[in-house]
Structure 1
Amino acid sequence: MGMSRYVLAATAARVADEMVGVALVLLALARTGDPVLAGLMVTAYAFPSVASGPVLGALLDRSPRRTIVLAGNGVLLAVTCLGITAALGRAPDALPLGLAAITGVALPLTSGGYSSLVPLLVPADGLARANSWDAASFGGAALLGPALAGTIAATLGPTEAMYGVAVLAAVGAAVTLALPRVARAAEDRPHLLRAVRDGLVHLATTPPLRGATLTTALASVAAGVLSTAFPLRAAEIGAGEAAGGYLWTALEVGSLLAVALLARRLLAGDRPERVVFGTAACYGLVMLAVPLAPNLVATLAVVALAGVATGVGLPAIMATRQRHTPAGLLAQVSVTGASVKIACFAVGAAVGGGLVPATGAGTAIALVAAGQLAAAGAGVLAARTRGQGPGRSGGRSRAALD
């Protein structure tokens, strides 16, 4: 019962998060007609997580009420969405930008923060299955969120799309409060700065964790280029830029299929970091075929296959963190990893804005594929470094339930 409530809470929060980018852009364009401001709104929402992730994770590890912290993140998103809706185009731009940045500070909690609860809600023998459900939550949100925001905006208006974000964020917060409340023992809560330092040192010096994190970070930079490359590739094959959204849908559908059909089998071993490296490499190999696809149908098929190739990577990185991180640092490592991925994707998206028009979308996608292969190789090398990180452990301890 706890895991089913968890999936509902995490999915509602993540769908709301996935709606934000689309809803912000559409509201800014409708209110101001300024694409630069629209882009700045998304950047203001995403970029603060670069600095906030390690601190948020340490705070979550130290908090006696993790579920209350996560619910507070949902309330913050709901309130700031209402504030942005009231201010955008009607007040100085600094106000809605500031509101977006405020809620963006807490953004990593929606991904890594929720995921850090999973080992505390299920027994050890149910962890692989629970990670698959958690990965499906990410994939389902990535699939549903943008489509829901676009549909509401098209039928009711962008203002109502922002209201939809607020409602879903509030629902996620309410369900989160119904989860079992988990906490570390009071005597096992180190000073905040020490906790931040310990978590970062552990992440950097535990070879399997370091390698897997490096792979996901570099892969996210490469994947960020696709935010520009997919629409322009769709135009190159005569389908129109709007069909780029279908390519993202195909990628997520393939990922969900992989999670449903392959995750438990591939993650049955004791080296989940190898799955991280393998999925990145397979993803890169399949993506090399995308520039060769002559039409939309063929491109959709190849991209869906690429989604299958990479789909198990998400539960694999979750399993890697859980296997190689002590319980007292898991929230920080998870949230820091999420913030790194968000930041790297944003960097890739910025690079793609100049790269794709200069090289053509097909060439840019081939470079993305090469980037995935390079990410896999770099991770393997980082994971082979001699030495053990502090606190490396294949086990985990359950927090007290109160």
Structure 2
Amino acid sequence: MLSRYMAGAVAARTGDEMSGPALLLAGLALSGSPVPGSWLLAGLTASAAVGGPLLGALLDRAERPGRMVGWCLLGYTAGLLAVLLGLGRLPDAALVAVAALAGLLGPALTGGWTSQLPLVVPPDRLARANALDAISYNVAGLVGPAAVAAVAAATSGRTAVVVSAVLLLAAAPSAWTLPTRRPDPARPAVPARPTGTHGTDGVVPGPSGEAALRRELAAGFGAIARNASLRRATVTSVISFCGVAVLVVGAPLLGAELTGEVSYGALLLAVTAAAALTANAAVARLRRWTPRPDTVLAVSTLLLGAALALAAVAARTGGPFELAVLAAALAGLAEGPQLTALLAVRHREAPPRLRGQIFTTGASLKITSYAGGAALAGPLAAYDLGVALLAGAALQILAALAYGLLSRR
């Protein structure tokens, strides 16, 4: 069961990682300007903040949550293909709206899928399975952009969107076969809406399904806000991920600035993804000693700050390029364990009946934070790349400070 889960997770997340860059390239090829593609990417990511909490609540209510994840995969794929078919035929505003609708389903491919892991493995195997699940994010982050570059170079950006859609469709059968959730005795049944004003027996009816859903949405946010570990991990990761976006935007520019070749910037991102994958593979093999995920989250955030500061030094001093490679590798060694630790905290602290909400809400907040960081990084990097990278390092320090403040009783 775990192997089927992992195969589906890798396919879905690789397709997801491909979708944004592929839309960027498709929009650029059609218009000759990066603006349409960047707006499509913004629409695809920014709407996750709205979709995540609602998706989580629906997943927690579903007896077969895997089927809901499967439908989300199909809907996300349909949105991508609709945007692709509309490029050059429909107004940009309409295409951005379609991308935003598809983006509402995006958290199901990340947090929504991960929240089903306890249904797949027994509790004594969850820690190792969580590390393997985090590796699937790293594999997708490494393979997705590289696949877009290869497919676009061989054919076109439009073909890269099609390949992304094929991978998403390939993941749907794995999602469809995820295990059924066992009934939760702590969750009361939601009474059906009666046909009359007071029902057939003259008794005033209980709360409607919509009211119960609103209460569960509030309960999901409340669980994150009240639980000290969840609150601390969520705030820290959201601030940190905003800084990670600065690194992703700045790395191609840094490679081009130091070597004169944009391809070396892509190499820096590949180094980061490979280092993250290596670090998480090492974590997955740990047997006798396993550090507390909370500690790993704090240390890895500080390490990310050091990596961004090192990249800023490379930008300000003009190299050497090896210094930028070292910064990229250090960022990956921090980013991989940080994600593993974050997922471990959520698995440990999330109540079973609110697990889906907590994972999808956390994923949507991170995606939205990333979108904001990317939007800010562009103008900053145009002004001064070193300043932009220092701002990313400052965000990591801010995240570590938030961790410390939220650790005080």
Alignment TM-score, normalising by the size of structure 1:
0.90
User: Residue 28 of structure 1 aligns to which amino acid in structure 2?
Assistant: G
User: Residue 406 of structure 2 aligns to which amino acid in structure 1?
Assistant: A
Q: Which residue among 305, 316, 324 is the counterpart of 1:284?
A: 305
TM-superposed deviation, 1:228: 2.8
Q: 1:362-401 counterparts in 2 under 5 A? A: 362-384=386-408, 386=409
Which piece of structure 1 moves more, 134-143 or 296-305?
296-305
TM-superposed deviation, 1:381: 1.5
Deviations 1:259-294 (A, max 9, x none): 011356499558422211111012212332223342
Measure, in 2, the Cα distance between the counterparts of 1:286 and 1:233: 13
TM-superposed deviation, 1:182: 2.9
Q: State the match for 2:351 in structure 1.
A: 326
Partners of 1:267 and 1:275 within 8 A in 2: no
Q: State the match for 1:254 in structure 2.
A: 275
Measure, in 1, the Cα distance between the counterparts of 2:337 and 2:115: 18
Partners of 1:227 and 1:352 within 8 A in 2: no
Judging changes above 3 Å, is the alpha-carbon distance between structure 1 residues 198 and 264 closer, same or farther for their aligned structure 2 residues?
farther
Q: State the match for 1:207 in structure 2.
A: 228
Q: Which residue among 313, 324, 327 is the counterpart of 1:302?
A: 327
Q: 1:347-366 counterparts in 2 under 5 A? A: 347-358=372-383, 360-366=384-390
Measure, in 2, the Cα distance between the counterparts of 1:210 and 1:97: 32
TM-superposed deviation, 1:342: 0.4
Percent identity between the two aligned chains = 35
Q: State the match for 2:247 in structure 1.
A: 226
Measure, in 2, the Cα distance between the counterparts of 1:203 and 1:268: 28
Q: State the match for 2:201 in structure 1.
A: none
Which piece of structure 1 moves more, 293-302 or 265-274?
265-274
User: Residue 376 of structure 1 aligns to which amino acid in structure 2?
Assistant: A
Measure, in 1, the Cα distance between the counterparts of 2:359 and 2:294: 15
Measure, in 2, the Cα distance between the counterparts of 1:374 and 1:289: 17
TM-superposed deviation, 1:186: 7.8
Q: State the match for 2:85 in structure 1.
A: 86
Measure, in 1, the Cα distance between the counterparts of 2:10 and 2:341: 19
SS in 2 for 1:230: helix
Deviations 1:317-352 (A, max 9, x none): 111011112111111001000000000011111111
Measure, in 2, the Cα distance between the counterparts of 1:165 and 1:267: 39
TM-superposed deviation, 1:364: 2.1
Q: State the match for 2:368 in structure 1.
A: 343
SS in 2 for 1:180: coil
TM-superposed deviation, 1:95: 3.3
Pair member with larger Rg:
2
Measure, in 1, the Cα distance between the counterparts of 2:325 and 2:288: 27
Q: State the match for 1:396 in structure 2.
A: none
Which piece of structure 1 moves more, 136-145 or 363-372?
363-372
User: Residue 356 of structure 2 aligns to which amino acid in structure 1?
Assistant: A
TM-superposed deviation, 1:27: 1.1
Structure 1: give runs of 5+ residues left out of the alignment: 387-402
Partners of 1:208 and 1:324 within 8 A in 2: yes
Measure, in 2, the Cα distance between the counterparts of 1:328 and 1:133: 24
Matched, 1:99 2:98: yes
Partners of 1:255 and 1:312 within 8 A in 2: yes
TM-superposed deviation, 1:140: 0.3
Measure, in 2, the Cα distance between the counterparts of 1:276 and 1:56: 26
Q: State the match for 1:188 in structure 2.
A: 187
Measure, in 1, the Cα distance between the counterparts of 2:54 and 2:342: 20
Measure, in 2, the Cα distance between the counterparts of 1:346 and 1:212: 19
User: Residue 294 of structure 2 aligns to which amino acid in structure 1?
Assistant: E
Partners of 2:69 and 2:113 within 8 A in 1: yes
Q: RMSD over aligned Cα, in angstroms?
A: 2.0
SS in 2 for 1:237: helix
Alignment TM-score, normalising by the size of structure 2:
0.89
Which piece of structure 1 moves more, 321-330 or 220-229?
220-229
Measure, in 1, the Cα distance between the counterparts of 2:70 and 2:288: 30
Q: How many residues align?
A: 383
TM-superposed deviation, 1:101: 1.3
User: Residue 243 of structure 1 aligns to which amino acid in structure 2?
Assistant: Y
Measure, in 1, the Cα distance between the counterparts of 2:33 and 2:386: 29
Partners of 2:268 and 2:325 within 8 A in 1: yes
Judging changes above 3 Å, is the alpha-carbon distance between structure 1 residues 287 and 30 closer, same or farther for their aligned structure 2 residues?
closer
Judging changes above 3 Å, is the alpha-carbon distance between structure 1 residues 266 and 339 closer, same or farther for their aligned structure 2 residues?
farther
Measure, in 2, the Cα distance between the counterparts of 1:352 and 1:67: 36
Which piece of structure 1 moves more, 100-109 or 349-358?
349-358
Deviations 1:69-109 (A, max 9, x none): 11111111222222222111122223322221111001111
TM-superposed deviation, 1:50: 1.2
Measure, in 2, the Cα distance between the counterparts of 1:220 and 1:197: 24
User: Residue 160 of structure 1 aligns to which amino acid in structure 2?
Assistant: T
Measure, in 2, the Cα distance between the counterparts of 1:239 and 1:375: 33
User: Residue 379 of structure 1 aligns to which amino acid in structure 2?
Assistant: Y
Which piece of structure 1 moves more, 136-145 or 27-36?
27-36
Q: State the match for 1:392 in structure 2.
A: none
Q: State the match for 1:393 in structure 2.
A: none
Judging changes above 3 Å, is the alpha-carbon distance between structure 1 residues 232 and 159 closer, same or farther for their aligned structure 2 residues?
closer
Partners of 2:131 and 2:283 within 8 A in 1: no
TM-superposed deviation, 1:183: 5.1
Partners of 1:222 and 1:371 within 8 A in 2: yes
